Structure 1
Amino acid sequence: MMKVKETINSLIAGIDGFSGISYKIHVDFFRNTFTVFEWKNKDNALPFTPLERKRIGSIEDFKNEIYSMKIWEWERSYRKEEGIILDGKYWSIKLNTKGKVYESEGIECFPHDWEQFCQAVEKLTGLPFR
């Protein structure tokens, strides 16, 4: 369990559609910067390419959202127990703090405040994250 006052260094999050567009974001809280990558799942598409985006939202506001969601308390894995998933969304998050790395991922199964997280990313970047 993370201490509330522990410093968050960075966050890397990705959402991959089995068909469609996938995104990855890397937020560096020390440098107060972020990078967004996009990948289109089409024939002859290039791997993740960085998108030139001006910051829409505040990294400090985004960090406060991360603290309020307590991502460090999310389960390590969210997956449906039954059946084979042939289409849907795969997501992952890696939260680096001063003392520990917290990772969580899932396929078509999400933590209770996943929508809040997606909205926070969209508010920061101006890009969809779903």
Structure 2
Amino acid sequence: MAINHRKCTRCGSLNTMPIMYGEPSYEAFLESEQGKFKLGGCMVSPTSPEYHCRECGNEWNREDAVTHAYEQLRGMKAVVGGYPDGNYEVDIDFEERKLVWSHEEESHKIELTSSDIERLLYELKWLNILNWRAEYVEPFSMDGTSWRIEFRRDGRNLKKRGVNDFPEEWKEFCQLMRNMSGKEFR
């Protein structure tokens, strides 16, 4: 699932329209009157809104949508492993600020601070993890490393997984899990 920039960051509606900037032509003015887009004026800045919600009137840009998507995460569970090393697992509850690392029979619990969670969300956003494909699979492998990440959100959870194939940012993600847990994650 890629981040849906057109989804309202306030009410969640998809009944939205783009905002067009610049001097409108006569045809563009007529199209805006038909509700195809909203006219935003002649001046545009990097923080100018790009979308308008027809339901609640909210306006936002792509960066606001990305930030909102990461703020909706309630927790995550990441698992990686294979024969003969077994699975490494990191389960993080963002709201309770708890991390549980486990490998086979060993388990380790950590209390996180609010700043730990903020830093984690910042790093996940930097890794662009919500825009990773749902599945990475090397089709001609019989054995090797499998992994999965599940993000807990209100409503439907988001899952990513792979077998012997990884997103470009995988090594950085594993390092982040090692840094957060203080334990091995490979």
C-alpha root-mean-square deviation of aligned residues, in Å? 2.1
Could you report, residue by residue, the CA deviation over 1:61-119 in whole angstroms, capped at 9, with x for unpaired residues?
122111222222111111113x2422x21100001223542211111100111111101
1:74 matches 2:132: yes
Q: Distance in 2 between matches of 1:15 and 1:62?
A: 18
1:114 matches 2:166: no
Q: Distance in 1 between matches of 2:106 and 2:92?
A: 13
1:129 is paired with a residue of what secondary structure? coil
Q: 1:115 to 1:56 in 2, by over 3 A?
A: farther
Q: Distance in 2 between matches of 1:56 and 1:101?
A: 22
- Give the structure with higher Rg (CA): 2
For residue 148 of structure 2, what is the aligned residue in structure 1?
A: 92
Which deviates the most, 63-72 or 9-18? Answer: 63-72
Unaligned runs of 5+ in 1: 40-48
Unaligned runs of 5+ in 2: 4-64
For residue 181 of structure 2, what is the aligned residue in structure 1?
A: 125
Q: Which amino acid aligns with 2:86?
A: I
The answer to whether the Cα contact below 8 Å between 2:150 and 2:157 also exists between their aligned partners in 1 is: yes
TM-score by length of 2: 0.57
- Between structures 1 and 2, the one with greater strand share: 1
TM-score by length of 1: 0.79
For residue 11 of structure 1, what is the aligned residue in structure 2?
A: 76
Q: Which amino acid aligns with 2:76?
A: L
For residue 122 of structure 2, what is the aligned residue in structure 1?
A: 64
Q: 1:17 to 1:56 in 2, by over 3 A?
A: farther
